Amino acid sequence: MGCLCGNSVSMNDTGEDNEFRTAIRILADRVGNLVQQRAELMERCTVAETNQAHLNKEFENQTEMLKTLYSKRKSDKQVGFLLNNSLM
């Protein structure tokens, strides 16, 4: 009977070992998926940061051009005003 009890415990351990191995495999798969998702998110963040930098530079250029055009328009108006007043 002592042998039977020993075998029973050994079978139980094997079942628990299999459950443990299965749980570890599932956990490893989930960790692998998370690592892949993190890498994809990091790539997307890098692309977004690059796009944002480009848009900021474009905005600065457009702002500078608008200031230049406004100054030119203001200057043209002053010249026109001076010419109209000098002709009177």
Condensed to tens digits (0 to 9), the pLDDT of residues 23-74 reads: 999 999 999 999 999 999 999 999 999 999 999 999 999 999 999 999 999 8
Confidence grade of residue 10 (pLDDT, cut at 50, 70, 90):
low
Q: Between 9 and 46, whose confidence is greater?
A: 46
Residue 20: phi and psi, rounded to 5, are -65, -45
pTM of the model: 0.57
CA neighbor of 66 nearest in space, from 77, 54, 74: 74
What count of other Cβ atoms lies within 10 Å of the Cβ of residue 23?
10
C-alpha span between 30 and 22 (Å, rounded):
12
Q: DSSP H helical segments within 1-88, as ranges?
A: 2-87
Given a cut of 70, whether residue 12 has pLDDT beyond it is: no
| Token pair for 80 | 């026109």
